[in-house]
Amino acid sequence: MSQQTWLTQEAYDRLREELDHLTGTGRVEIANKIEAAREEGDLKENGGYHAAKEEQGKLESRIRQLTDLLRDARVGQAPQFDGAAGPGTVVEVRFPGDDETERFLIGSREDHSTSLEVYSAQSPLGGAVSGHRAGDTVTYTLPNGRSATVRIVTVEPYSN
């Protein structure tokens, strides 16, 4: 099952343009680099050829990533805010023992329309606070297997 991502129209258009470039001009350019390096001879010790093939792999990976993201993306405003944290909300949390809070947007890291730190709803912290409200305390598992606890201070809809 794929996770739906909300994108602003601006972010969607920018990512669509990047995908169009990569699948058109980008692929042509990398194919030309590979062909030019191939013409240099012995492929075993041809650094230019191996670098171009690696670049091609990264390009194809980015194409797959953008294709998946844009296929499942919803463009426009996130659903009506009901007070719970989730995609399209700004969450302020406090870790036990800290006096300072951390504010972040739950959304797509591909949407660069904010200066806030962005956590996806699939990240450990983003997923842990999703569905919870101000005043709730949640415990979640970090990538290293340890547990962390945060108290949600505020949740508000994101507006730029």
Whether residue 78 is predicted with pLDDT greater than 60 in this model: the reply is: no
Q: State the CATH architecture for 89-153.
A: Roll (3.10)
| β-strands 5-7, 147-157 pairing | unpaired
Topology alike, domains 5-75 and 89-153:
no
127 burial (CB, 10 Å; 0-12 / 13-18 / 19+) is middle
Fold of 5-75: Helix Hairpins (1.10.287)
Output DSSP code: residue 62: H
Q: Where are the domains of the chain?
A: 5-75, 89-153
H helices of the chain, where? 9-21, 27-38, 47-72, 124-129
> What pLDDT shows up at residue 111?
62
Q: How confident is the model at residue 113 (pLDDT cuts 50, 70, 90)?
A: low
Q: What percent of the chain has pLDDT over 90?
A: 48
Position 41 confidence tier, pLDDT thresholds 50, 70, 90: confident
DSSP bridge pairs for 147 = 141
Q: Determine the pLDDT at residue 126.
A: 92
The pTM of this model reads 0.58
pLDDT band at 1; cut points 50, 70, 90: very low
Model pLDDT, residue 16: 92
Q: What is the pLDDT of residue 2?
A: 47
